[in-house]
């Protein structure tokens, strides 16, 4: 049997951090080798398993990813679901130590995404705003669906998340928008409509609209509306729990640890590229 892939998980105290530790339980192909939390947090030194509400794992939460990666090869891949600033710092630490990194964090600016792309010249780096199989299949087919329906169909993307989410629209909604734009041969930045409150007038032809809901404990829901004269196609994905995302991230980590430096996404992991012919 192949040795387990040794993973370091950052932001372990977060909703996704805890889900990742829970999803590791019972797996012999992956092993937690480091658990990283926020400097100064009260949970530092606690066992990562206990923090996530599962069996103790013998891995205390520490604050310094750099120190762990500086040690001789104890981590095969880092999984990052922390805030943007922490994620960027962790990417630089990975770049310096040639460690692959899976990133689920959303809300990077274009400039920040360029930092990630630059790092991926030196290390395998995977960025995916949504690690679920369902969303990634939708992302793969959406360009072809949009193209088949034609320019006259209005596209609106509606997303709903829990009340704690900080970025809007969600990373997934923006990725769905880019997939629609790809099907139309345009750049999303040129056609996106993120806010209808500040403009007056009818819907701009060819625009892609976004609407955001934030409420209670909604895990994550996305609907793409494709509305033509007299009909409407609605493509909806609903995440029932974060374990789905966590399992996708673990699958990605195992895959990425065996790749050469490059910029990857979840569709690479799932073998969904190049996708249907446009
Ligand atoms: N790609 C995907 O499939 C998915 C992506 N996401 C994305 O993942 C991200 C996290 O979401 P979620 O887990 O809900 O967020 P949370 O707010 O629950 O978790 C973020 C955690 O990061 C911790 N943190 C803050 N600073 C640091 C630091 N410097 N080092 C280490 N940890 C730090 C915080 O710790 P503390 O508790 O101490 O404040 C907090 O617990 C978001 O960007 C979200 O959009 C979410 C779900 C799925
Ligand atoms: O913050 C979340 O919770 C989620 N964020 C991701 C996003 O921004 O698309 C993915 C998922 O929907 C949950």
Q: What is the pLDDT of residue 219?
A: 98
The three-state secondary structure class of 61 is: strand
Which homologous superfamily is 5-127+242-269 in? NAD(P)-binding Rossmann-like Domain (3.40.50.720)
Instruction: Quote the ipTM score.
Output: 0.99
Catalytic residue among 98, 147, 161, 164: 161
Q: What is the pLDDT of residue 30?
A: 98
What does DSSP say about strands 192-193 and 154-161: parallel, antiparallel, or unpaired?
unpaired
Is residue 152 within 8 Å of residue 229, measured between CB atoms?
yes
162 is in an annotated binding site: yes
Nearest-atom index, ligand 2, CA of 166: 1
In this structure, CATH architecture of domain 133-239: 2-Layer Sandwich (3.30)
Cα of 104 to ligand 1 centre, how many Å?
Answer: 9
Q: What is the pLDDT of residue 277?
A: 84
Ligand 1 pocket list (CB less than 6 A): 10-11, 13-16, 36-38, 41, 81-83, 86, 104-107, 128-131, 171, 245
- Annotation says 165 is catalytic: yes
**CA nearest neighbour of 183 among 138, 223, 220, 222:** 138
Q: What is the pLDDT of residue 103?
A: 99
**Sequence ranges of the domains in the chain:** 5-127+242-269, 133-239
Nearest-atom index, ligand 2, CA of 221: 12
Number of the ligand closest to the Cα of 240: 2
Instruction: Give average pLDDT by consecutive 10-residue segment, the chain, 278 residues.
Output: 94 98 96 98 98 98 96 93 98 98 98 98 98 98 98 98 98 98 98 93 97 98 98 98 98 98 98 91
Q: What is the pLDDT of residue 73?
A: 84
Look at the pTM and tell me if it is higher than 0.95: yes
Cα of 134 to ligand 2 centre, how many Å?
Answer: 14
Q: What is the pLDDT of residue 262?
A: 98
What does DSSP say about strands 220-228 and 231-239: parallel, antiparallel, or unpaired?
antiparallel
Nearest-atom index, ligand 1, CA of 86: 29
Is residue 15 within 8 Å of residue 50, measured between CB atoms?
no
């Amino acid at each position: 049997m192949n040795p387990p892939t040794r993973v370091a998980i950052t932001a372990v105290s977060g909703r996704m951090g805890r889900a990742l530790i829970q999803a590791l339980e019972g797996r012999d192909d992956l092993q937690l080798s480091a658990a990283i939390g926020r400097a100064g947090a009260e949970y530092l030194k606690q066992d990562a398993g206990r923090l996530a509400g599962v069996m103790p794992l013998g891995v205390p939460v520490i604050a310094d990813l750099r120190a762990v990666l500086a040690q001789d090869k104890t981590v095969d891949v880092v999984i990052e679901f922390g805030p943007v600033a922490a994620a960027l710092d962790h990417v630089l630490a990975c770049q310096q130590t040639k460690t692959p990194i899976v990133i689920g964090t959303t809300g990077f600016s274009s400039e920040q995404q360029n930092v990630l792309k630059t790092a991926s010249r030196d290390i395998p780096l995977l960025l995916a705003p949504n690690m679920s199989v369902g969303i990634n299949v939708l992302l793969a087919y959406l360009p072809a669906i949009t193209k088949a329906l034609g320019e006259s169909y209005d596209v609106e993307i509606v997303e709903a998340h829990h009340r704690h989410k900080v970025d809007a629209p969600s990373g997934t909604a923006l990725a769905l928008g880019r997939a629609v734009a790809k099907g139309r041969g345009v750049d999303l930045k040129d056609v996106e409509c993120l806010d209808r409150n500040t403009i007056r007038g009818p819907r701009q032809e060819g625009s892609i609209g976004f609407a955001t809901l934030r409420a209670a404990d909604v895990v994550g829901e996305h609907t793409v509306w494709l509305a033509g004269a007299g009909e409407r196609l609605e493509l909806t994905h609903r995440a029932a729990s974060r374990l789905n995302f966590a399992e996708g991230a673990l699958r990605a980590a195992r895959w990425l640890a065996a790749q050469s430096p490059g910029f990857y996404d979840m569709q690479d992991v799932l073998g969904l590229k190049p996708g249907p012919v446009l």
